[in-house]
Amino acid sequence: MNEMSYIEWYAMADVDVQKRIGNFIQHHRLKQNKTQTDVSKAAGMSRSTLSLLERGETVTLATLIQVLRVLDLFYVFEAFQVKTEISPVLYAKMKREERQRARPNSQAAEPDPDDDLAW
């Protein structure tokens, strides 16, 4: 599979991106040996809507999601995960505040007279 860099994707016109998505859907549908009718029925849409998607025409996001679900291609959404990252400055501050060693208490803890285990 030909990997495209971010710059190549960014430089593409929206119509070309839509066609690339349509080719992706069609490729995986055919690879799974499914007809447009099979996929469209399973996705709850008309065959012509799926055909529009595969040709790179304008369809709704919901249509794309339904087709990706039917073709078991949800892995493409991994790129949309938001990961919490910590800044290097905040990380350094947290490490500086981290305990470096244990210190004994200055006073030995006296047993609580109300404690059943105390002598």
Torsion of CA 23, 53, 57, 3, to 10 degrees: -30
* Stronger pLDDT, 7 or 43, i.e. the higher one: 43
- The predicted-structure confidence for 47-85, as pLDDT tens digits, reads as follows 999 999 999 999 999 999 999 999 999 998 888 888 888
Which two tokens mark 35? 């007809």
The domain covering 6-80 belongs, at the CATH homologous superfamily level, to lambda repressor-like DNA-binding domains (1.10.260.40)
Helix, strand, coil shares of the chain, percent, nearest 5, are: 55, 0, 45
- Domain residue extents for the chain: 6-80
